[in-house]
C-alpha cells in the first residue's frame, strides 16, 4: 500500500491485489457490524458503541446522565455515517476497472474518516477478544488460540495501513 | 531498532510486528496551532443609538469562563498507535505537533492526560469526536 499527496488536501492511495482483497474483506465485515442492533451485541461491543462519558460516579448527577445519553445518541448516528462510508468504498471497488493496483483518490477529510473507520475495526476486534497489552507485545507464533492470533494480526495490519496514510506524527526535536 | 520501527515508534503500547513492516513513508502533516478562543472583552461604552449592553456581555462572558469547569481526559489503551493518537489530537483538538506529542506521551506513561477544559456542552462534543476516532475519552467536572 502506498499513499501520496498529489495536490493540496488530495491523496492517492494504492493497494496491490492482496491488500485490496484484505481491505474489502475488512470493509464488508465493518458494514455488517454497523448494521447490527447494538442491544444484541456482546457486552464489550455494546459498551464500545454506547461510550462512557465519565469514569467517575454518575449516579445522582443529572447533567452527566444527560451527557451520557447525548454521547450514546451521537455514537448511534456515527454508525449510520460509517455504514454509508463503507458502502461508498465498496461501490468504488465494484466499479473500478483496474484492481491491481487499486487506486483511490480522496480528500484529507475523507482520509480522516477512512482511518477512523479502520481504527474502529481494530478497536472492535480488541474489545471482542479482550486484547491486552501483553497480547499486543507477544510474538504471534506464541499465541495458541487461532482466532486470537488472527485478530491481533488484523489489528497490526490495519495499524500499518493507518500509519502509511498518516505518516510519522510524533514531534521529535 | 530498524528505521521503520523507529519511525513507526508507533503505538501506545506495542510495536508493529516485523512481518508487516513494509516501508512506511508518508508525508508529515503540517503543524497546526492550538486555537485558543479569545474571550471577547466588553466594550466600555456602547455607541449611542445601539442596544448593546456591556454589563450583560461581561456577565455572560464571566459565566462562560466559570462554566469551563469540565476536564476532557484521554486514557491509555493497548491498541491505539502513538502516531495515530498524535494525529487525532492535532485534528480534533487543533494542537500543534509538540503539544499533541506531549499529551500522547503523558497518556502512554501516566495512563491518562487532561487534554482540555471546556463547558459541559463543548466537552460532550469533544469526547464524542475523540471517541469517533477510537480514543478512550471521558469528561469530569474539574
- Domain spans of chain B, in order of start: 29-43+52-141
Q: Which residues does residue B74 pair with via DSSP β-bridges, in sequence order? A: B113, B137
Q: B15 to chain A: which residues are within 8 Å by CB? A: 137
The whole-number pLDDT of residue A38 equals 96
The whole-number pLDDT of residue B12 equals 45
Q: How far apart are the first and last CA of chain B?
A: 41
Within a domain: residue A173?
Answer: no
Q: A5 to chain B: which residues are within 8 Å by CB? A: 27
Rounded to 5 degrees, what angle do the CA atoms A22, A23, A24 make? 95
Quote the pTM value: 0.80
H or E, element range at B13: none
Buried b (16+ CB within 10 A) or exposed e, B127-140: bbbbbbbbbbbbbb
Question: Range of A162's domain?
Answer: 2-166
Within a domain: residue A16?
Answer: yes
Quick check: B124 and A70 CB within 8 A?
yes
Distance CA A158, CA A25 (A): 12
CATH 3.30.465.10 holds for B29-43+52-141: no
Three cell numbers written together for B86: 498524535
DSSP class of residue B12 equals S
Quick check: B133 and A116 CB within 8 A?
yes
pLDDT digits (tens, 9 = 90+) for B45-99: 444 455 556 677 888 877 776 777 899 999 999 999 999 999 999 999 999 999 9
Dihedral pair phi/psi, residue B3, rounded to 5°: -60, -40
Taking each helix axis from N to C end, the angle separating A108-129 and A17-35, rounded to the nearest 10 degrees, works out to: 70
Q: Tens digit of pLDDT per residue, chain A (173 long)?
A: 999 999 999 999 999 999 999 999 999 999 999 999 999 999 999 999 999 999 988 777 888 899 999 999 999 999 999 999 999 999 999 999 999 999 999 999 999 999 999 999 999 999 999 999 999 999 999 999 999 999 999 999 999 999 999 998 998 87
Distance CA B120, CA A75 (A): 18
B7-11, B22-26, B65-69: least confident range: B22-26
Q: Which residues does residue A107 pair with via DSSP β-bridges, in sequence order? A: A10
**Which of A22, A34, A5 is closest to A124 using CA atoms?**
A34
Q: How many H-runs (helices) and E-runs (strands) does chain A carry?
A: 6, 3
Amino acid at each position: 500500500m502506498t499513499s501520496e499527496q498529489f495536490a493540496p488536501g488530495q491523496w492517492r492511495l494504492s493497494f496491490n491485489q492482496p491488500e485490496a482483497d484484505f481491505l474489502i474483506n475488512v470493509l464488508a465485515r465493518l458494514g455488517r457490524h454497523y448494521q447490527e442492533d447494538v442491544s444484541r451485541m456482546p457486552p464489550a461491543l455494546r459498551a464500545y458503541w454506547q461510550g462512557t462519558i465519565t469514569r467517575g460516579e454518575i449516579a445522582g448527577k443529572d447533567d452527566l446522565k444527560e451527557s451520557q445519553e447525548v454521547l450514546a445518541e451521537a455514537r448511534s448516528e456515527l454508525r449510520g455515517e460509517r455504514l454509508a462510508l463503507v458502502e461508498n468504498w465498496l461501490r468504488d471497488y465494484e466499479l473500478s476497472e483496474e484492481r491491481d493496483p487499486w487506486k483511490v483518490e480522496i480528500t484529507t477529510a475523507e482520509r480522516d474518516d477512512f482511518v477512523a473507520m479502520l481504527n474502529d475495526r481494530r478497536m472492535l476486534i480488541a474489545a471482542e477478544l479482550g486484547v491486552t497489552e501483553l497480547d499486543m507485545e507477544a510474538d504471534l507464533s506464541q499465541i495458541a488460540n487461532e482466532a486470537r492470533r488472527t485478530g491481533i494480526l488484523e489489528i497490526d495490519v490495519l495499524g500499518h495501513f493507518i500509519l502509511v496514510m498518516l505518516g510519522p506524527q510524533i514531534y521529535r526535536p | 531498532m530498524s528505521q521503520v520501527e523507529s519511525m513507526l515508534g508507533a503505538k501506545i503500547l506495542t510495536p508493529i510486528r516485523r512481518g508487516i513492516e513494509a516501508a512506511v513513508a508518508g508525508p508529515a502533516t503540517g503543524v497546526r496551532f492550538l486555537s485558543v478562543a479569545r474571550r471577547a472583552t466588553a466594550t466600555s461604552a456602547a455607541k449611542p443609538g445601539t442596544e448593546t449592553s456591556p454589563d450583560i456581555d461581561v456577565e455572560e462572558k464571566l459565566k462562560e469562563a466559570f462554566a469551563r469547569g469540565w476536564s476532557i481526559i484521554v486514557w491509555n489503551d493497548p491498541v491505539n498507535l502513538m502516531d495515530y493518537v498524535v494525529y487525532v489530537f492535532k485534528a480534533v483538538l487543533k494542537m500543534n505537533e509538540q503539544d499533541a506529542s506531549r499529551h500522547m506521551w503523558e497518556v502512554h506513561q501516566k495512563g491518562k492526560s487532561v487534554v482540555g477544559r471546556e463547558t459541559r456542552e463543548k466537552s460532550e462534543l469533544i469526547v464524542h469526536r475523540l471517541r469517533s476516532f477510537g480514543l478512550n475519552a471521558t469528561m469530569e467536572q474539574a
